[in-house]
């Protein structure tokens, strides 16, 4: 099975900061990597699919990059509504999926 890791596990940042979260797969997954945002008590929301494609309706301050085993989610200028937990997820195989452990972004 493909394992996913994320770093950091949590971070504190201020409004306006540039934030970068990394995700690593245990084997190459091409660009079959997605990013989700989850707020407390809510369902996850898709932000980025196929490593770098912005989901419709998602602000352009969110961007994704990477391929193979190493991926990055960047928030160019953190907004108050962006404080949440972020998960990466691989979909290299459509018979088994794995999420990363999550990165919690809170207010400094």
Partner 1 sequence: EVQLVESGGGLVQPGGSLRLTCAASGFTVGSYYMSWVRQAPGKGLEWVSIIHSGGTTYYADSVKGRFIISRDNSKNTLYLQMNSLRTEDTAVYYCARLTFRAFDPWGQGILVTVSS
Residue number with CB closer to partner 1 (34 or 62): 34
Q: In the stretch 67-106, what mask flags binding to partner 1 with x, by CB under 8 A?
A: --------------------x-x-x--xxxxxxxxx----
Q: How far apart are CA 108 and CA 104, in angstroms?
A: 12
Determine the interface stretch with partner 1 among 15-23, 33-41, 63-71, 76-84 (rule: CB under 8 A). Answer: 33-41
Match 């989610």 to its residue by tokens: 73
Q: What one-character-per-residue DSSP string does 51-75 give?
A: TTEEPTT--TTEEEEEETTEEEEEE
Which of residues 45, 52, 68, 69 is near partner 1 by CB under 8 A?
45
Residue number with CB closer to partner 1 (11 or 17): 11
The Cα-based distances of 78 to 29, 45, 62 in angstroms read 28, 17, 9
Decide if residue 62 touches partner 1 (CB under 8 A). Answer: no
Determine the interface stretch with partner 1 among 15-23, 50-58, 59-67, 76-84 (rule: CB under 8 A). Answer: 50-58
Q: How far apart are CA 89 and CA 19, in angstroms?
A: 19
Q: How far apart are CA 25 and CA 29, in angstroms?
A: 7
Q: Residues interacting with partner 1, by CB under 8 A?
A: 1, 32, 34, 36, 38, 43-46, 49-50, 53, 55, 87, 89, 91, 94-102
């Amino acid at each position: 099975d493909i394992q996913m890791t994320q770093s950091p596990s949590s971070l504190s940042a201020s409004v306006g900061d540039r934030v970068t979260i990394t995700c690593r797969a245990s084997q190459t997954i091409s660009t079959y990597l997605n990013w989700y945002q989850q707020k407390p008590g809510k369902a996850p929301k898709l932000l980025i699919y196929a490593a770098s494609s912005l989901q419709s309706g998602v602000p352009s301050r969110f961007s994704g990059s990477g391929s193979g085993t190493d991926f990055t989610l960047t928030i160019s200028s953190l907004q108050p509504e962006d404080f949440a937990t972020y998960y990466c997820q691989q979909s290299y195989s459509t018979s088994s999926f794995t999420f990363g452990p999550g990165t919690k972004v809170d207010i400094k």
